[in-house]
Amino acid sequence: MGKSAVTLKIGILGSGSGSNMVSIVDAIERGKLNAEVKVVLSDVRDAKILERAQQHRIPCQWIDCAPYRTKLDDQAEQRCVQILNAYEVDTVVLAGFMRIIKPGLLQAFPERIINIHPALLPAFPGIQAWKQALDYGAKLAGCTVHFVDQGTDTGPIIIQRSVPILPDDTYETLHARIQVEEHIAYPEALRLLAAGRLRINDRKVEILKESRGAP
């Protein structure tokens, strides 16, 4: 952390539609992010993220995570670590991955697992955070990109972007507005990581100044 610029070798884990994955791939293709997506893994056999990975010719696989619904069992976790290592991944990106990450995976990639959460943490951790914010009557919502630690949505925060909650919002309109910001925040956080500009001090993420002549 906080070292010189590198090309990130990213492994993406996702359970859903994969729009965040696409925003990352787009940033790479436009030359805005110094990274390669080496592999995409999903716990959902027919997840759209796998279809979209195929469209971008990125290796992808379904990981059978039975019997639990909200976490990886030990076997599935080991399988993920094996595959990520086989693809020489150095940065694990959770993009709508709806399972809790356990110590085995965390220890395999210390301070190299990143998540995006659809709320301004520490408010509204857990599932369907945009619904929680709307139901609570909050006036602001947003997204948070953070390093993953042992807790649920508790790791050091890299970037947050906010959006207003409007009087006539539905769950769908609010989530769509948050996703527009997610697609800016995730590539930006990864760009800072690739540039060696993130340093964690006592759970606070310091964003180092850009060095002269940096890409």
Question: How many angstroms separate the Cα of 84 from the Cα of each of 10, 41, 210?
Answer: 9, 9, 30
Residues near 57 by Cβ (< 8 Å), separated by ≥ 6? none
Active-site residue, 117 included: yes
Which residue number, 39 or 49, has a Cβ lying nearer to ligand GAR?
49
Q: Which is nearer to ligand GAR, 161 or 191 (CB)?
A: 161
Nearest approach in angstroms of CB 75 to ligand GAR is 23
Task: Tell me how far apart the alpha carbons of residues 159 and 46 are, in angstroms, rounded to a whole number.
Answer: 31
CB atoms within 10 A of CB 123: 15
Tell me, residue by residue from 164 to 203, as one string, x for binding to ligand GAR by CB under 6 A and - for no binding: ---------------x--x---------------------
Min dist. Cβ of residue 114 to ligand GAR (A): 12
Alpha helices by DSSP H, 60-150: 74-86, 103-108, 129-136
| Separation of alpha carbons 196 and 126, rounded Å | 29
Residue in 9, 17, 111, 149 binding ligand GAR, rule: CB under 6 A = 17
Residues 95-154 that bind ligand GAR (CB under 6 A): 95-96, 116-118, 129
Cis peptide before 215 (omega within 30 of 0): no
Q: How far is the CB of 2 from ligand GAR (least distance, A)?
A: 26
**Interacting residues with ligand GAR (CB under 6 A):** 14, 16-20, 49, 95-96, 116-118, 129, 179, 182
Question: What amino acid positions are annotated as catalytic residues?
Answer: 117
